[in-house]
Structure 1
Amino acid sequence: MRALLELVRAPAALSVPGDTMAGAAAAGSPVRAGTALASTLLYWAGMALNDWSDRHQDALDRPERPVPSGRISPATALATAVGCTGAGLLAAFVADGRRGLGLAGLLAGAVWAYDLALKRTAAGPSAMAACRVLDVMLGAGGAARAVPTALAIGAHTYGISVLGRAETKGATGATIRGALAACATAAALVAWTCPGAPLAGYVTTAGRALAGLRADPDPARVRQAVRLSIVALIPLQAAAVAGHGRPAQSVALLAAAPFGGRLSRLVATS
């Protein structure tokens, strides 16, 4: 069971429902539990597909991962990706009918395109960011007013993806500057959309994740920064939710952040 939790990066999934909550808040629509479930299932699908796609390279760079270590077979990883994708599409349809299915279909297509074709190209970070943008729009039911919030979360995700590319070789100055710029863009977008949004928690968490890299950009520190950056998504989402007038939901999201941080020390999130 632990190997399966590692395969789908289970703790990182705590950062996913906040996408749909932020999207719903920005759109002024109710949060649908089924949509949040669909989002989580599609995230798990992407993580499993990632490890199936990377199995040969991981045998060299990340032999501790479930597939190259032999704890999960390649067939099981691929079946998990397919099964979670199908379950996610079904959950979206049940929650929001054809509209939900259509949006979830776009998200699933983006996830599979990233893992199978785009990840190792120059378009990789942008493709990963697009997945999170579509995830927020899934929660918003496609409402245009949610686009700035979706772009903010996408910007932060771009920074995570840029850092993730340095997990095995260490970060360069350009990598660190790119991640910092992505965080600044995310904060600026939320501040512009929701003046007065409580962004201090996000800025502190994201800044702590990146600050140490300037002095020590080795692979171990980069992986730590990626884990902290994933957790930092939660205060960013919470700020957007609060900024759109849903403080109780924002508090609920923030309550999950310490739990996610503890779990990320027990089960790998990157």
Structure 2
Amino acid sequence: MVGGGVDGSSDSGAGGERSESVTSTSSDAGTIATHRETLAAVAELVRVPNLFTAPPDVLLGAALVSVAGAELSLPAVGGLAVASVLLYAAGTTLNDAFDAPIDARERPDRPIPSGHISRRGAFGFGAGLLLAAVAVAFAAAGVPGATVAALLAGAIVAYDGPLKDTGVGFLAMGATRGLNVVLGTTAAAAGFVLSDFGPALLAVPAIVVVYIAAVTFMAARETQGQNRPAIAVAAAGALAALPVLGWVVVSVGTGVLESALALGFAVLFCWWVGRPLWAAYADPVPEAVGPAVGACVLGLVLLDAAFAAVAGIWWGLAVAVFLVPAVGLSRVFDVT
């Protein structure tokens, strides 16, 4: 009996330990799964692929400063690139926070309506990213960097909030990208101002505004279907960049290799955005317009690279390389 009692007690303890072990393992697995879901939701909220389209704007601004003959601080360029990523992440986060009631009807699988992230949490996260971006820009480029970053933050809030559903909302979105290029110019040594640019160089951030405004005009009508005029506007915005690129190449007196690279990126840009835009125009349904919007967003990297190549081959390549992670991640996460 003693032996039986000992055996029985021992068996019961082992069983209890195994049960607790299984329960603990299941709990740990559930916690890990929850963390993964949350990280995936945050990645979707900030549009991870799109984040890689922000630094190219900053690099383009720095390249333009180089063309103008001003001295650059490379650490400042890096810091401003980080600030631009934070600003972009804030923009997409606040966009979804403001649009949560609409997304609940049209896109219920998005992070906020699906319940993975609270709307209040998204507003707080977005605001925190904006503040962090301004702080990083200040650390990288002082008052000029912080000032442009603050203006960009204001444009982001204006677009995501009161201006989105107005007739000028798409222009506000375009302005955020133009300001992102200007942000890169603040990496210049003290004393440089935009007025030091000639007309051709000033036209570069302006055409970025036009292009993104046109793409946003199309994106705002993505779910309507049968809206060929909006698609034509986006195509016109893309085509408008080509004569500006030619103007910049001629005005700067770019070398043969740099001109060839700029032309190559321009051709690739036209191919990249032209195919999906043509497909969307031929069959203007949301299933075709959505991919066209995504292609145009990623295509901005190639447009930036074309203009940056004017400053030198390495500038163009440094910008273009950001397309690789952007495209790779776009196969996992949505761009629009």
TM over 0.5: yes
Matches within 5 A, 1:140-151: 140-141=185-186, 143-144=194-195, 145=197, 146-151=201-206
What secondary structure, in the 3-state scheme, does the structure 1 residue paired with 2:225 have? coil
1:249 equivalent in alignment to 2:330: no
Q: Indicate conservation of the 8 Å contact 1:132/1:153, yes or no.
A: yes
User: What is the CA deviation profile of residues 199-240 of structure 1, one whole-angstrom value per residue up to 9, with x for unaligned ones?
Assistant: 111111121231101221111111111111111011101001
Structure 1 residue runs of 5 or longer lacking an equivalent are none
Is 1:228 the counterpart of 2:295 in the alignment?
yes
Q: How does 1:178-193 map to 2 (within 5 A)?
A: 178-193=233-248
Letter in 1 for 2:168: A
Look up the match of 1:203: 270
Q: Does 1:261 align with 2:261?
A: no
Does structure 2 retain, via aligned residues, the 8 Å contact 1:152–1:190? no
Question: Which one of the candidate residues 41, 58, 66 is aligned to 2:86?
Answer: 41
Provide the residue aligned with 1:173 in structure 2.
228
Task: Check whether the contact 2:211–2:238 (CA below 8 A) recurs between aligned residues.
Answer: yes
In structure 2, how many angstroms separate the alpha carbons of the residues matched to 1:79 and 1:13?
Answer: 19
Query: Over residues 154-210 of structure 1, what are the superposed CA-to-partner deviations in whole Å (9 max), with x where a residue is unaligned?
Result: 122112201211222225121111111111112222221224332111111121231
Mapped to 2, the partners of 1:221 and 1:169 lie a distance apart of 12
- Aligned partner of 1:216 in structure 2 is 283
TM-score of the two chains, using structure 2 as the length reference: 0.77
Quote the Cα distance in structure 1 between the aligned partners of 2:279 and 2:204.
28
Corresponding residue for residue 46 of structure 2: 8
Aligned to 2:210: 155
How far apart are the structure 2 equivalents of 1:139 and 1:43?
A: 14
Cα distance, 1:12 vs. partner? 0.4
Q: Which moves more between the two structures, 18-27 or 171-180? A: 171-180
Amino acid at match of 2:179: L
Deviation at 1:60, TM superposition (A): 0.8
Q: 2: distance between equivalents of 1:140 and 1:171?
A: 40
Quick check: 99-108 or 157-166, which moved more?
A: 157-166
Q: Aligned equivalents of 2:155 and 2:232: distance in 1?
A: 26
Q: Is the CA contact 1:52–1:77 (under 8 Å) kept in the aligned structure 2?
A: yes
Question: Which of 111, 114, 133 is residue 88 of structure 1 equivalent to?
Answer: 133
CA distance in 2, matches of 1:147, 1:56: 39
The residue aligned with 1:73 is 118
**How far is 1:116 from its partner?**
0.9
Return the TM-score normalized by structure 1. 0.95
The Cα of 1:55 is off from its aligned counterpart by: 0.4
Q: Whole-Å Cα distance in 2 between the matches of residues 209 and 159 of structure 1?
A: 15
C-alpha RMSD of matched pairs (Å): 1.4
Identity across matched positions, percent: 34
User: AA paired with 2:210?
Assistant: A
Shift of 1:8: 0.7
Is the contact between residue 18 and residue 238 of structure 1 (CA under 8 Å) also seen in structure 2? Answer: yes
Q: 1:26 aligns with which of 60, 64, 67?
A: 64
The number of residues matched between the two structures is 269
CA distances 1:107-140 after superposition (whole Å, capped 9, x unpaired): 1111111111101111011110011111101111
State the match for 1:99 in structure 2. Answer: 144
